[in-house]
Amino acid sequence: MSQWHIFGAGAMGCLIAHRMQQCELPSTLLHHHKEPVEKIIIDGHVETHLEALPLQTLAHGSIERLLLTTKAGQVQSALALALPYLTKNAIVASTANGMGFEKAAQNSIPNHTIHRAISTAGAFRVSADRVRVVSNGTTRMGLPGSSLPSPQWFNDSLQHLSAWHWESNIEQAIAVKFSINCIINPLTAELTCRNGELLDRGVAKPELKALCEETQPALIALGLWSEEEDLLATVVSVCQSTAQNNSSMLQDKMAGRLTEVEFLNGELLRRAESLGIDLPLNRALLHSLR
């Protein structure tokens, strides 16, 4: 079985490396710093130690399977760093949220295709070297623009991870995740609250309701959301099931890191502008969180 190299030792990278270790899948956690570092994963009452190795300690042309777990804004630069280490037929996948980074990312590795993984798993960095697991969630992987069944490299490795599934229509999964993230992530970051705090006794607070009412027609016009589905009801359900979660955007804001707002609400605004649709609430959130 070929080894997976997980590039990006943040919360998501550590969580996936931890799950691979539990399933005894060959994997190596990588980062772009010069020295190895130890990461501690807190999963319930159990602490597990992982080592993250510098990318440059690998031999060129040695990565057969790369799972990139950086944020959307870091995908292009991370792929450029990883390119010399990829084999000719390397499998490449990204867990980044949002849209609008895909073309630049693909241009970074023109001889490889980039698979996408969309996850509802939750983890957050307690400190620089400690990550706490919040929820296992579900992870779906697929190749945009393709409806092929699950390939052998997925079946012999990632399929063995809990709640990982191959998605033949990954574009739809990306669009749904994008739509929901455009609501929950910026609002929780702006209000500095957990997902569940966007609700009051199970009912959407005014800010949540207003943002959904503004955003849903634009998402439908852009082909990113179904007319048959109520965005507010879906978002409320997600907030209920992830009530104790801090969104990734809130975590980034609290840590002083760049958020993914440019690849969520920023990308939504760019696409909506091409149709002449004005989204003042989304624009206000974008400007506030930049």
| Residues designated as active site | 177
**Strand-pair category, 130-135 with 122-127:** antiparallel
The token duo for 213 is 């009412």
Q: Where are the beta strands (DSSP E) in 81-175?
A: 86-94, 114-119, 122-127, 130-135, 139-142, 164-166
CA distance 4 to 25: 8
**Strand-pair category, 46-54 with 37-43:** antiparallel
Burial state string for 73-110 with b = 16 or more CB within 10 A and e = fewer than 16: bbbbebbebbbebbeeebbbbbbbbbbbbbeebbebbe
Q: Which one-letter amino acid corresponds to residue 215?
A: T
Contact 141, 96 (CB under 8 A): no
Q: Which one-letter amino acid corresponds to residue 276?
A: G
The token duo for 188 is 């929780």
Question: How far is CA 92 from each of CA 47, 88, 117, rounded to the nearest angstrom?
Answer: 29, 11, 11
